[in-house]
Amino acid sequence: MSSTGTEQHPPTALIIGASRGLGHAMAAEFLDRGWNVVGTVRDTTARTPLRDLADRADGRLTIEHLDINDPGQLPPLHGRLAHRQLDVLFVNAGTTTNERTPIGAVATADFIDVMVTNALSPLRVIEALEDLVSPAGLIGAMSSGQGSITNNTAGGREVYRGSKAALNMFLRSFAARQVETQRAFVLLAPGWIRTALGGPDAPFTIEETVPLLVDVLLSRLGTPGPAYLDRFGETVPW
């Protein structure tokens, strides 16, 4: 268990986008480490893996509803969580489209969809819920190594790359406005993972990757300021 909590009062992580994939696996990993978890799902009617996890969690996992692209859902969610203090707020959101299309040929609607989901909506969530996070807690989001401008030597996936670079900039700007806090701000670049987004050809599994990601997050607790890190805790160039 993290030193941020005790046996009587375990720490709490809010995972935005926890219905399946990396978000679900992160929720499970935090539970395994003794944390309480709040996980959000977009569809309240579907039977997701998160609901199966909740059935086995002895009341330590709370499921909340949130469509990350609907800002009107944020005030009600804040109200439902207002009685809780969060030690970690982590936003796991991502979509992609037109991976092989040069940026000048991408349809405007597709561009907007990816940029809103990957860059704007995560920061809307963070700005709406940040006051629930402990002054010494952590706020983070799932980025990508493809969001690194420095490392982009091959091109391709240009809308996705641009959206993650924008996410990195937005969270870094948010952190710059929070200089008086002791919070950590973390952008995670997990690598190419076998998920619905990553596809079946990705070299890394969720099972081998997620414990490393949680290790990185926990290692940053108590270290103020922004960081852009891979799954081994190494700095990714902006």
Indicate if the pLDDT at residue 165 is higher than 50: yes
More confident residue, 83 or 156: 83
Question: What is the C-alpha separation between 20 and 13, in angstroms, rounded?
Answer: 16
pLDDT of residue 105: 94
More confident residue, 233 or 199: 233
What's the pTM value of the predicted model, to 2 decimals? 0.92
Look at the block and give the residue holding tokens 């893996």.
Answer: 49
Mean pLDDT computed over 139-159 = 93
Tell me if 119 sits within 8 A of 144, measured CB to CB. no
pLDDT of residue 180: 85
Mean pLDDT computed over 115-126 = 98
Whole-angstrom CA distances from 17 to 20, 72, 73, 141, 225 are 8, 17, 14, 11, 24
Helices (H) and strands (E) counted in the chain, each on its own, are 7, 7
Please, which pLDDT band fits residue 206 given cuts at 50, 70 and 90? confident
